[in-house]
Amino acid sequence: MSLTSVIDIRVDSDESSSTAYPRHRKRKWHTKVATGCLKCKSRRIKCSEEKPQCHKCLKLGMPCPGYKVPVARIFELEPSPNPVFETDLEWSRHQYFVNVGSKILATFQLNSLLFWSRLAPQLGQRHAAVRHSLTALGALQAPLHSVPPDRLQPRPRYEISALAISQMQKSMHIIRTADPTSVPVEVFLTCCMLFLAQQFWIEKTSSAPTHVLAANRIVQESLSRGGSQLPKEFADIFIPSLNELINQLCTFSDGFPPPGSGLPVDHHLDFDVKQIGAVSDKTTAIDAIDRLLKCVIRATSGPRIPQTLKRKIPLAFEALDHKLQELHAADILPRDGYDWTHLHLHLLVARVMFYTLDSSNEAGLDDFLADFSLIVADCKKLVEMDIHNPPLKSLNTHLGVLPPLFFAATRCRQWGVRHEALQLLHDARVSERGWTSCIAFTIAKFVVDQEEDILNVLAEDYEADQVIRRIRLHSIKLSNDSHQAFVFTPEKFQGNPLALVSVHGNALSQKRKAQLAREFKYSETVFLHDAPGPGQPRLLEIFTETGEELPFAGHPIIGTAHYIFNFLEKINYDPASRDTQKQTTTLLTKAGRIPIFYNPYRGVAACAVPTNFHIHSKHVDIEKIITTQPQVQIVPTIDKERGRSFPLVSIVKGMTFVLVDLTDNPEIFGALQAGKSPEVELDPQWSPSFVGCMYYRVLAKSEAPGEPAIHNVQARMISHGIEDPGTGSACCALSCYLSLNAPSEKRPSDQTKKPTKASAAPSTGAEATGESDLVKKAEDLKLGETKTERKVFGIQQGAEMGRLCTIAVEVDVKNEADGKKSITNVVLSGRANMMLKGELIGN
């Protein structure tokens, strides 16, 4: 056969086969993507990927279901059958931990968010031991949201629920009886962490080291076998979290690590030093600086620095400095940039602290005058960058300039450098980690003044620019007179904090007052002006932490009253008239004149609230409340609140509150968090206004013979992203509303009312019955007569924040003959205690 015939035969065969089996149309090739909408992916077509809805779905007239949220590969596990829960309560507690409790635990431990929020719940879907432990943690955490305030004092101790105990026992039983070869290693490790969290939650920390050491032993054994038993993706998340936990225990637990544990005594210091070598970018560099500062403080706070650590920390200085030079050479850290200056500053501070903090010889500080000058220069550069060119700052974590400036001002022995640091503290006007430049400057200035006063009385042979002695911070004793108060509580560090500034003349402008209020960062800051003359009222201005001026606020008025009567107009009380003696004066506010009173024996201040109580016509639906508290949607009892609406009331013009009654739903009351205020519609001429949300629960009344009944209320006030521990204006608004919407009660004086002449003589039979009916009708026909009724409210607020406030409100209600009620008087009262006194330098 020739080649031509072969070709012909092949052509013929191809033609015949193409006739018998027609060729399918070839689809156009395109790149597959995993980011399309769910509908297009199910139809196996390319999605146009417009958001929020793609055009292909809209073109077909169907709603686009949206896009799948990408997750890490470790979490893309095959779905397992839903775990079996014996009761609905178990399921709800498990869901509570997954959605809420896991985030709470992650805030207490570094590098643990993925473990608590993803890894542990995923393992709980497949292993009963983990699931029971998660349910136990949820059962321990959830009841804290509904603990009565009286059980939160003095410490939050509560009974452990039977569900939590049973779930812990089930989990431990499974782990103890399980065959080690049949249970994955990650289950044992996860249970160790869960058992540890349970022990911390019930405040039994004695067994915490046991669980940590068990987890560490399992990890070391697995790694010694080549790590084959421990999944790499699990180890990448779990091991850093475990190392941070060991580091915390070494720092804060006595006797850890114990002998024979395999961990060195200075493990925590060694661990932090090793982390410094992992610097690869700006973020890890700032973390390394933070760790290095902690190492220095730990090493210099003990009685003696270990020799091994003395060698390691200087090597860490050199290694970190070399890493920063490498980042600079790679153009990651420009030398004139904010980040380089920031990192170089704190590396310099750490080096000076390491070589000086443990030294008893103050003269050794003179060897670091050049370093102190560089510290002040870097701080000045950072402050100028913050003011003139903020975008140059790219690091999210900021160690700040206040600690270095404070360190230079109080440790440097050269007069010019330390006063330059003081001036920078005064001009910085920043707030960092609970410190403000005002507070840091005041304390540093006090130290400098004391040292220079001592210098002036020493021998004249010493040079004026050398400080011979220093006063340590722990020996400073501030005066008991204070301009910082804790209101609605007799205890320090409880109640609602208040900053009070005494203004002499026109020393402060309105703009500067708003700046100071933002600097203090308290819920309210008040400015009290001097009285024009004896017996004349004082002007009081109230500013919020955002710089907004308020017409009235309850806790600033009470705190100011305590300050005036304890420091400005203090008198000695007479024991013979201790219950009746009181002091009075008047404050001028934007809401009008406010009389204030003080009983020096009882230590209680009160004020007559300038009431202009108003109930708005539009109520607030529960849906608007839920938008500000989205976490309550997972609470099982949320369905009880569907369809409800809540009143909107104003105590004065400019102070408005939504009153949300949760008396029958303590679960939602306990699940509240700091959030925004709901959107409301005010009546005409009542806006603009501050709007807050007052959640409350009416508790049982307290009654005593001869005294009016006290209506006990538990409340929480949330607005503008914060929760206020004690809000006098909101409590007054709530008390007025409850007084107008509660049934009338007999006053104690009504129960001892003298009999009328018609009823004084005893009578019997029909004559007596008829006469009593006539008397009753005569009493009912006293048209035009009004009766005043006083209601007393005891409101507890801030218990969930650990700052319990006890607020008393007395409301006088006028009952008209036609059945209408009106508010005549409102009196707010409470205790307070003063703590700090400061001085503003300049205006």
Q: Residues 600-641: pLDDT tens digits?
A: 878 888 999 888 899 999 999 999 999 888 888 888 888 888
Token pair in block for residue 645: 């609406």
pLDDT of 226 reads 61
What DSSP line would sit under 160-218, residue for residue? Answer: PPHHHHHHHHHHHHHHHHS-TTTS-HHHHHHHHHHHHHHHHHTT-GGGHHHHHHHHHHH
Q: Which residue has the higher pLDDT, 379 or 9?
A: 379
Structural domains in the chain, sorted by start: 32-70 (4.10.240.10), 72-142+157-263 (no CATH), 614-745+784-833 (3.10.310.10)
Q: Residues 268-321: pLDDT tens digits?
A: 666 666 666 667 777 777 777 777 777 777 666 655 556 666 677 777 788 788
Token pair in block for residue 812: 């006088």
66-71: which pairs have CB atoms within 8 A and are 24 or more residues apart? 66/37, 66/38, 67/35, 67/36, 67/37, 67/38, 68/38, 70/34, 70/35
CA distance 685 to 674: 29
pLDDT of 389 reads 54
- Prior bond of 81 cis (ω within 30°): no
> Which range, of 97-111, 480-494, 646-660, averages the lowest pLDDT?
480-494
621: left (phi over 0), alpha (psi -120 to 50) or beta: beta
CA distance 826 to 658: 19
Nearest of 483, 501, 504, 510 to residue 567 by alpha carbon: 483
CB-based contact 131:670 (threshold 8 Å) = no
CA distance 557 to 589: 10
pLDDT of 736 reads 93
Cβ-proximal residues to 204 (8 Å cutoff; 6+ apart), any chain: none
Q: Return the residue matching tokens 């570094």.
A: 110
CA distance 446 to 440: 10
CA distance 150 to 210: 34
Q: Return the residue matching tokens 């204030």.
A: 596
| pLDDT over 80 (residue 791) | yes
What DSSP line would sit under 40-100, residue for residue? Answer: HHHHT------SSS-HHHHHTT-----BPPP--GGG-PPPPPPPP-SSHHHHHHHHHIIII
Nearest of 248, 246, 245, 220 to residue 235 by alpha carbon: 220
- State the sign of the Cα–Cα–Cα–Cα dihedral 126, 128, 129, 134: positive
Rg of the chain over Cα atoms, rounded to whole angstroms, equals 35
The size of the chain, in residues, is 843
| pLDDT over 80 (residue 728) | yes
CB-based contact 492:485 (threshold 8 Å) = no
CA distance 693 to 662: 12
| pLDDT over 90 (residue 696) | yes
CA distance 725 to 441: 28
| pLDDT over 90 (residue 685) | no
pLDDT of 645 reads 92
Residue 817 pLDDT grade (very low, low, confident, very high; cuts 50, 70, 90):
confident
β-pair partners for 712: 794
Cα distances (Å, whole numbers) of residue 812 to 715, 747, 793: 21, 12, 11
β-pair partners for 436: 431
Asked whether the whole model's pTM tops 0.75, one would answer no
| pLDDT over 60 (residue 355) | yes
pLDDT of 695 reads 94
Eight-state DSSP code of residue 257: S
Q: How does the average pLDDT of the chain come out, rounded?
A: 75
Eight-state DSSP code of residue 29: P
3-state SS class at 220 = helix
Residue 476 pLDDT grade (very low, low, confident, very high; cuts 50, 70, 90):
very low
> Which range, of 149-153, 233-237, 818-822, averages the lowest pLDDT?
149-153
**Residue-wise over 112-128: b if at least 16 C-beta within 10 A, else e?**
bbbbbbbbbbbbbeebe
pLDDT of 738 reads 93
Q: Which residue has the higher pLDDT, 627 or 11?
A: 627
| pLDDT over 60 (residue 842) | no
Q: Which residue has the higher pLDDT, 694 or 843?
A: 694
CA distance 106 to 801: 19
Q: Residues 701-716: pLDDT tens digits?
A: 888 777 778 899 999 9
Q: Residues 404-451: pLDDT tens digits?
A: 888 888 888 788 888 888 988 888 777 776 678 888 888 888 888 877
Cα distances (Å, whole numbers) of residue 838 to 450, 471, 520, 538: 16, 19, 12, 21
pLDDT of 74 reads 41
What DSSP line would sit under 551-613, residue for residue? Answer: S--HHHHHHHHHHIIIIIS--PPPGGGTTT--EEEEEEETTEEEEEEEETTTTEEEEE-----
Residue 768 pLDDT grade (very low, low, confident, very high; cuts 50, 70, 90):
very low
Burial class (CB in 10 A: 0-12, 13-18, 19+), 689: middle
The CA-based angle 720-726-571, given to 5 degrees, is 135
Q: Which residue has the higher pLDDT, 697 or 470?
A: 697
pLDDT of 733 reads 93
Q: Return the residue matching tokens 């009143």.
A: 647
